[in-house]
């Protein structure tokens, strides 16, 4: 894309590739010269795995990433709460037990973020498998809750 002028280099970490005739500084961030609009909406399937990804493997009540993470119905199932993106969050076992069959108000706890259907899920593994210099460069382009450096 860079060679064909379809993208420009925004950042690089200094890594270089050389051929007999060309030397290219490898980019870590590029900008597309033309916005590519997707003609279809990707529908992310509702699953425990995807709820964990949406909530960044973080309890939505206390913010911990430790311990056994569970899936909690904000409005309990016993109160008619549905199993859907808007009513399900990641909760640590401690918070899940504390909340039990109560509403947020009854339990006296708050959500860190209102749950919603995600339009995009970023795979955490990309960060773990990428060189540290890439992650450092990418971090300023994502919201704080996406990357934990
Ligand atoms: Zn918790």
Please state, as a whole number, how many other Cβ atoms lie within 10 Å of the Cβ of residue 76.
Answer: 16
For the question of whether the overall pTM of this predicted structure is more than 0.85, the answer is no
In a domain, 122, yes or no: no
Q: Which residues make up the environment of ion ligand 1, defined by Cβ < 5 Å?
A: 59, 61-62, 92, 95
For residue 112, the CA-to-ligand 1 centroid distance in Å is 10
Backbone phi and psi for residue 107, each to the nearest 5 degrees, phi listed first: -80, -15
For residue 107, the CA-to-ligand 1 centroid distance in Å is 13
For residue 72, the CA-to-ligand 1 centroid distance in Å is 11
For residue 59, the CA-to-ligand 1 centroid distance in Å is 5
Indicate which CATH number applies to the domain containing 72. 1.10.30.50
For residue 29, the CA-to-ligand 1 centroid distance in Å is 35
Q: Which residue has the higher pLDDT, 19 or 138?
A: 19
For residue 141, the CA-to-ligand 1 centroid distance in Å is 28
In a domain, 40, yes or no: no
Give me the percent of the chain exceeding a pLDDT of 70: 85
Same domain, 14 and 59: no
In a domain, 96, yes or no: yes
Same domain, 25 and 52: no
Same domain, 60 and 17: no
Task: List all residues 6 or more positions away from 148 whose beta carbon is below 8 Å from its beta carbon.
Answer: 56
For residue 8, the CA-to-ligand 1 centroid distance in Å is 43
In a domain, 77, yes or no: yes
Q: Which domain, by its residues, includes 96?
A: 48-107
Of 5-14, 17-26, 33-42, 44-53, the poorest mean pLDDT is in 33-42
Question: Mean of the per-residue pLDDT values for the chain?
Answer: 86
Same domain, 53 and 101: yes
Q: Which of 100, 57, 58 is nearest to 77 (CA)?
A: 100
Q: What is the pLDDT of residues 78-123, one digit of tens each?
A: 999 999 999 999 999 999 999 999 999 999 999 999 999 887 666 5
List strand residue ranges (DSSP E) for 33-145, in order.
69-73, 88-92
What total number of domains does the chain contain? Answer: 2
Same domain, 60 and 94: yes
d(CA 65, CA 96): 14
pLDDT in the model for residue 124: 56
In a domain, 145, yes or no: no
Residue pair 17/24 in contact by the 8 Å Cβ criterion: yes
In a domain, 143, yes or no: no
Same domain, 53 and 25: no
Same domain, 17 and 62: no
Same domain, 65 and 97: yes
d(CA 48, CA 83): 10
In a domain, 125, yes or no: no
For residue 74, the CA-to-ligand 1 centroid distance in Å is 13
Residue pair 61/111 in contact by the 8 Å Cβ criterion: yes
Same domain, 27 and 55: no
For residue 129, the CA-to-ligand 1 centroid distance in Å is 28
């Amino acid at each position: 894309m860079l060679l064909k002028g379809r993208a420009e280099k925004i950042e690089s970490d200094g890594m270089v590739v050389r051929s007999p005739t060309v030397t290219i500084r490898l980019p870590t961030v590029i900008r597309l010269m033309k916005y590519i609009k997707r003609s279809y909406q990707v529908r992310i399937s509702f699953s425990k795995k995807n709820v964990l990804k949406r909530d960044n493997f973080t309890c939505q009540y206390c913010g911990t990433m430790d311990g056994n993470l569970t899936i909690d119905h904000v409005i309990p199932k016993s109160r008619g709460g549905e199993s859907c993106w808007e009513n399900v969050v990641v909760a640590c076992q401690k918070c899940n037990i504390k909340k039990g069959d109560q509403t947020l108000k009854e339990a006296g706890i708050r959500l860190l973020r209102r749950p919603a259907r995600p339009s995009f899920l970023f795979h955490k593994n990309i960060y773990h498998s990428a060189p540290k210099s890439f992650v450092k460069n990418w971090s300023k382009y994502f919201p704080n809750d996406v990357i934990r450096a």
